[in-house]
Amino acid sequence: MNFLDTTSTVAISLYALLSTAYKSMQAVYSQPAFDSSASERPVGFDELPSVDVIVPCFNEDPGTLSQCLASIADQQYAGEMRVYVVDDGSGNRDALRSVHETFARDPRFDIIVLPQNVGKRKAQIAAIRRSHGDLVLNVDSDTILASDVITKLVPKMQDPAVGAAMGQLTASNRSDSWLTRLIDMEYWLACNEERAAQARFGAVMCCCGPCAMYRRSALVMLLDQYESQYFRGKPSDFGEDRHLTILMLKAGFRTEYVPSAIAATVVPNKLGPYLRQQLRWARSTFRDTLLGLRLLPGLNRFLTLDVVGQNLGPLLLALSVLTGLAQLALTGTVPWWTALMIVTMTMVRCTVVAFRARQLRFLGFSLHTFINIFLLLPLKAYALCTLSNSDWLSRSSAGSSSKKAAEQAPVQRPATELRTTECSAHATPLRRLNLARDSSRLVTSDCICSDE
């Protein structure tokens, strides 16, 4: 057995042991310890807390933004709710004007228009400093909420020790392409295995941006740290969700996951935008993992294994694949053990997930292995070597990854005709928006976001 074959065999064997250990524990801990839907009443509050919903948007497609805001306006929450839509210097503001005007007729909505693009983080902060609710719900502008999302998230915040809680994410455009179908399954795994297992110990490591609720008192305390994130002396203006979650954990708050709070978000339907998104996320993960390492001694040992497995595992897999390919190129011999281990682990994992989710489509998730090995692993290696690069990579694009371009004609329908789509086959159906037609109060305003 030559050196390359030995290296590949040892690396894939270590990867198999590490991955099996933490994935098995993850599958066990992700099972609900109790019926999370049993308590819908926020007993930790004397009365229903007020909720501020913050929606930063930049060059969003008018139709996509309309659906997002319609789903928020349609929330079945008995407490006070206010919505702050922050236009972050969009270049397609003329196309968005009718959307702004439509929702400005609802007295619950404030439309904040920033004169220039300052980034998602500062757009959020502009609204946070303007609002005053007990709880803050961050929602991405390409996300559609089920009508009971706020009702499902609020009870989790009844414990004063909980600083943040996130809902379950699905892909609203799942049927667009083979890639969106894979991403939707990837989201299911990230939410219902990874986040669900971490939530067992009150330490979800990343409350995702499309649907994350925060306790205002905790948020205000951490706002300056959140605004002034630096890496190697340079401002870091992406990875907001993970960084804010880590700050919550460092401050001693619990972070939770609520699987019944469903949010459907637009995902990339082509490889180019998907890989740029993954590069941005990889840099953010590596940066905040370094910050989060200090938390691990005070957390459950499973969380340490989870963090180590998610960061060391891909390196072992990459080493095994690289040496295996080198062996094939230089000696003409196939690294059978490496190939057999990868195929076996993929099939076992997909079969177990298909059984857990009771959906045969997860057998097709085995295709994601090819993307992971030949695209994502090299991309993560590049991300690790370029951690200081803070380019957003997609902020200059006019619109999100939805089918419609941002420069298309704006939505001209009246508010009562706006419709939403379903989150998924198992999600709570979204009702139609029903804004008061006779409301004439315009609350659109301009706000200059400062760097204070």
Dihedral angle computed from the Cα positions of residues 127, 279, 204 and 49, in that order, rounded to the nearest 10 degrees: 20
Q: Is the pLDDT of residue 411 over 90?
A: no
pTM of the entire predicted model: 0.83
> Which whole number is the average pLDDT over 350-373?
95
pLDDT confidence of residue 276: 94
Predicted local distance difference test score (pLDDT) of residue 389:
78
Instruction: Locate 223 and state its tokens.
Output: 């706002």
In a domain, 62, yes or no: yes
Average of pLDDT values for 357-361? 95
Is 418's pLDDT higher than 90?
A: no
pLDDT value at residue 292: 80
Could you write out the three-class secondary structure of the chain? Answer: CCHHHHHHHHHHHHHHHHHHHHHHHHHHHCCCCCCCCCCCCCCCCCCCCCEEEEEEECCCCHHHHHHHHHHHHCCCCCCCEEEEEEEECCCCHHHHHHHHHHHHCCCCEEEEEECCCCCHHHHHHHHHHHCCCCEEEECCCCEEECCCHHHHHHHHHHCCCEEEEEEEEEECCCCCCHHHHHHHHHHHHHHHHHHHHHHCCCECCCCCCCCEEEEHHHHHHHHHHHHCCEECCEECCCCHHHHHHHHHHHCCCEEEEEEEEEEEECCCCCHHHHHHHHHHHHHHHHHHHHHHHHHHHHCCHHHHHHHHHHHHHHHHHHHHHHHHHHHHHHHCCCCHHHHHHHHHHHHHHHHHHHHHHCCHHHHHHHHHHHHHHHHHHHHHHHHHHCCCCCCCCCCCCCCCCCCCCCCCCCCCCCHHHCCCCCCCCCCCCCCCCCCCCCCCCCCCEECCCCCC
* Rounded distance between C-alpha atoms, residue 283 and residue 289, angstroms: 10
pLDDT in tens, 39-77: 455 545 668 999 999 999 999 999 999 999 999 999 999
Number of domains in the chain: 1
What is the CATH classification number for the domain harbouring 354? 3.90.550.10
From the list 371, 363, 311, 373, the residue with the least C-alpha distance to 342 is 373
Please answer whether residues 435 and 103 qualify as being in contact, where contact means their C-beta atoms are separated by less than 8 angstroms: yes
Judge whether residue 399 has pLDDT over 70. Answer: no
The pLDDT value recorded for residue 448 is 34
DSSP bridge pairs for 166: 212, 257
> Does residue 42 form part of some domain?
no
- 429: confidence class by pLDDT, cuts 50, 70, 90: very low
Residue 46 counted as domain residue: no
Instruction: Look at residue 1 and tell me whether its pLDDT is greater than 90.
Output: no
Confidence class of residue 392 from pLDDT cuts 50, 70 and 90?
Answer: low
Please give the residue range of the domain that contains residue 11.
1-31+56-452
Average pLDDT over residues 264-284: 94
Answer yes or no: is 41 within a domain: no
Residue 225 lies in a domain: yes
Classify residue 364: in a domain, yes or no.
yes
Query: Are 204 and 210 in contact, with CB atoms under 8 Å apart?
Result: no
Model pLDDT, residue 416: 32
Is the pLDDT confidence value at 234 over 80?
Answer: no
Model confidence pLDDT, tens digit, residues 116-152: 999 999 999 999 999 999 999 999 999 999 999 999 9
Q: What pLDDT, on the 0 to 100 scale, is given for residue 434?
A: 33
pLDDT band for position 296 (50/70/90)? Answer: confident
Rg of the chain taking only CA atoms, in angstroms? 22
Instruction: With a cut of 50, say whether residue 409 has pLDDT above it.
Output: no
Task: Determine, yes or no, domain membership for 44.
Answer: no
**How many CB atoms sit inside 10 A of residue 198's CB?**
25
Report if residue 436 sits inside a domain.
yes
Core vs surface per residue 322-356: b (16+ CB within 10 A) or e:
bbbebbbeeeeeebebbeebbeebbeebbeebbeb
Q: Average pLDDT for residues 214-220, to the nearest whole number?
A: 96
Look at residue 256 and tell me whether its pLDDT is greater than 80: yes
Mean pLDDT computed over 21-27: 93
Mean pLDDT score, 327-355: 94
